[in-house]
Amino acid sequence: MKGSLLESLTLADARRRRRLNRLLRKMARLDPVPPSGLSPRRRAMAAVLLLVLLLVGVWRLGLTGEDRAGFPDRPADAQARPIGNPPSQEVTSTAFDFLQTQPGSSEPVTYDPCAPIHLVVDPRTMVDKGMRMLEEAADEIRAATGLSLVVDGLTDTGASPGRTATSADGSTWTPVLVSWTDPDATPRLGGMTAGYAGSTAVERDGHRWYVTGVVMLDGPQIQQTLATDGWTAARSVLMHELGHLVGLGHVDARGQLMQPTRESGLDAWGDGDRAGLAAVGRGRCIDY
């Protein structure tokens, strides 16, 4: 968890590229004559550069408007009200941060509490009993947020920039991918970075929700933590990354599991962690 982490990983969508291409063609029709001193070739290169910059901006923000991503049908397992409720907080703490907030508000972007968050697991470098470790970490998230996390099983498909927010036919949200990998396959995990995670947000009527995401885990490094510091220390790495998945950012406060660097001996949520997790569990249900 040390070093540069991607806390808000976003997923590319081919429809964004088509929309941007249409926008550029419209721009060309509105201004068909190259400006003075700019050749047609250079003008075309400038248009390509603009497209690249726009695509990078979409990747970094991870925000897909309703007209860009679209919403699938209501999930079959969605409920009419939140599936669970976060525990009431007796101790007030501000030692937490959100990865994203609603436009013009301090309220967090959250997952839909009325529908389960489905996870699939790429087990390539998974530690022994890694599925149990993931389930236990997911249980900690469930208890702290009230959100329903469902581990559906294994997949042989790893993370890729082309992974979209919806299924190929657009009927469902893509499940969250938990990928046990290593620095050779995922260079961002170099050094002391044991994992990174984040979610993709979509927007409707000015409100944003997370709908899918990725959790990347350095299997060899977590195996080393397991061997030297024990089960709960290794599990705390997964808890930290799932905290990012549901919307928490890093916080520079001792005693909190969401610190950028793991604190020796700390393997449970702190008061700030719990306050932040309770907040991301109180989101608004998606009105399909």
Residue-level length of the chain? 288
What global pTM score does this model have? 0.78
Strand (E) or helix (H) holding 227: helix 219-229
How do residues 242-265 score in pLDDT, each as one tens digit? 999 999 999 999 999 999 999 999
Check if the beta carbon of residue 274 is closer than 8 Å to that of residue 144: yes
Question: Residue 68 above 70 pLDDT?
Answer: no
Closest residue by Cα to residue 10 from 61, 82, 72, 47: 61
pLDDT at 26: 39
Mean pLDDT of 69-76: 86
The residue ranking higher by pLDDT, 259 or 61, is: 259
Q: Among the listed ranges 18-27, 168-177, 267-276, which one has the minimum average pLDDT value?
A: 18-27
The residue ranking higher by pLDDT, 226 or 31, is: 226
pLDDT tier at 73, thresholds 50, 70, 90 = very high
What is the rounded distance in angstroms from the CA atom of residue 115 to the CA atom of residue 83?
Answer: 7
User: Which residue is associated with the tokens 């550069």?
Assistant: 49
State the angle between helix axes of 130-145 and 271-280 in degrees (0 to 180), rounded to the nearest 10.
80
Question: Residue 209 above 60 pLDDT?
Answer: yes
Q: Among the listed ranges 39-53, 66-80, 98-112, 259-273, which one has the minimum average pLDDT value?
A: 39-53
